[in-house]
Amino acid sequence: MSLLGDPVAWVSELTRPEAWVLASSVAFATALVGALAVGALGPTYFLFLVGLAGMYALLSFGLNAQWGFTGLINFSVAAFFGVGAYGAALMTADASPIAGGFSPLVGLAVGLLVALVLALLIGIPTLRLRADYLAIASLGLAEVVRLIVLNERWLTNGSAGLRGIPSFFAGWPVLSSFPETMPGLRITVVPGAPVVLETPFWEAALNVVVIVAFTLGTYAVLRRVHQSPWGRVLRTIRSDEDLARALGKHTYAFKMQSFVLGSLIMALAGVFYTHLNLYVGPGDLDPITTFYVWVAVILGGSGSNRGALFGGIVVVTIREGTRFLNDFAIPVDPAPLRLLLIGVLILVVMRYRPQGILPPQRELIWPAARRSTEPATPPETGTRTRRAPEPTADADERGVDGAAGVSDDGTTDRTRGERNE
Q: Model pTM? A: 0.82
Say what the pLDDT of residue 252 is.
93
pLDDT value of residue 346:
86
Residue 188: predicted pLDDT:
74
Query: CB–CB of 267/37 below 8 Å?
Result: no
Q: Give dist(CA 311, CA 300) in Å, integer.
A: 5
CATH number corresponding to 16-370:
1.10.3470
**pLDDT in the model for residue 216:** 94
The pLDDT assigned to 402 comes to: 44
**Per-residue pLDDT at 405:** 47
Which DSSP string corresponds to 274-304? HHHHS-B-GGGGSHHHHHHHHHHHHHH-TT-
Rg for the chain, CA atoms, rounded: 30
SS3 162: strand
DSSP 158: G
Q: What pLDDT is attached to residue 71? A: 92
Give the model's pLDDT for residue 265.
96
The closest alpha carbon to 260, from 421, 133, 116, 143, belongs to: 116
Domain spans in the chain, listed from the N-terminal domain onward: 16-370
Q: What is the secondary structure of 176-212 as a DSSP string?
A: GGHHHHSPPEEEEEETTEEEEE-HHHHHHHHHHHHHH
Q: What three-state secondary structure class fits 219? A: helix
pLDDT value at position 387? 55
Contact 275, 104 (CB under 8 A): yes
Question: For the chain (length 421 residues), average pLDDT per consecutive 10?
Answer: 64 81 87 82 88 93 94 93 94 84 90 95 87 86 92 88 87 75 75 77 88 94 90 91 91 94 95 91 91 93 91 89 68 75 86 87 57 50 54 48 46 48 47
Report the SS3 class of residue 48: helix
Which residues, including other chains, have CB under 8 Å from residue 332's CB and lie 6 or more apart? 325
